[in-house]
Amino acid sequence: MPAFIVVLSLLFLWSLVSHRLARWSITAPIAFVVAGIVLTRGPHPAVPIDLEAHSFEVAVEIVLAVMLFMDATEARDYERLGRSVGEGRLLGIALPASVALATLIGAVVFPGSSWWLLAVAALVVMPVDLAPIAGFLRDARVPLRVRAALNIEGGFNDGLISPLFLFCVANLATAHGSTFAELLWSVVKGALLAVVVGSLLGTGAAWLVRRARDDGWARPAALRTASLALPFLAYAVATTAGGNGFVAAFVTGLWYATTAHAIAGDNLGLVHEVSELMALAVWFTLGKMATDAFADGVSGRVVLYGLLALTVARLVPVMASLAGTDLPRAERRAIAWLGSRGVTSIVFALLASIQLPPDDSAFIINVMCTTVLLSVALHGITQEPVARRFARAPRPTP
**pLDDT tens figures, 236-272:** 999 899 888 878 998 999 899 877 777 655 778 888 8
Give mean pLDDT, residues 350-378: 90
Specify the pTM.
Answer: 0.85
Q: What is the predicted pLDDT for the residue at 303?
A: 96
Closest listed residue to residue 74, CA positions, set 129, 121, 33? 129
**According to the model, what pLDDT value does residue 164 have?**
84
What's the pLDDT at 82? 46
Rounded (10°) CA dihedral 152, 154, 155, 156: 80
Q: What percent of the chain has pLDDT over 90?
A: 29
Amino acid, single-letter form, for residue 31: A
Query: pLDDT tens, 52-102?
Result: 766 777 887 888 888 888 888 876 555 544 455 566 788 889 999 999 999
Q: What is the pLDDT of residue 396?
A: 53
pLDDT in tens, 91-121: 889 999 999 999 999 999 999 999 999 999 9
The pLDDT value recorded for residue 345 is 93
Higher pLDDT, 155 or 286: 286
Q: How far apart are CA 19 and CA 35, in angstroms?
A: 18
What average pLDDT score do residues 22-36 get? Answer: 77
pLDDT mean across residues, the chain: 83
Would the pLDDT of 201 be above 90? yes
| Residue 68, pLDDT score | 84
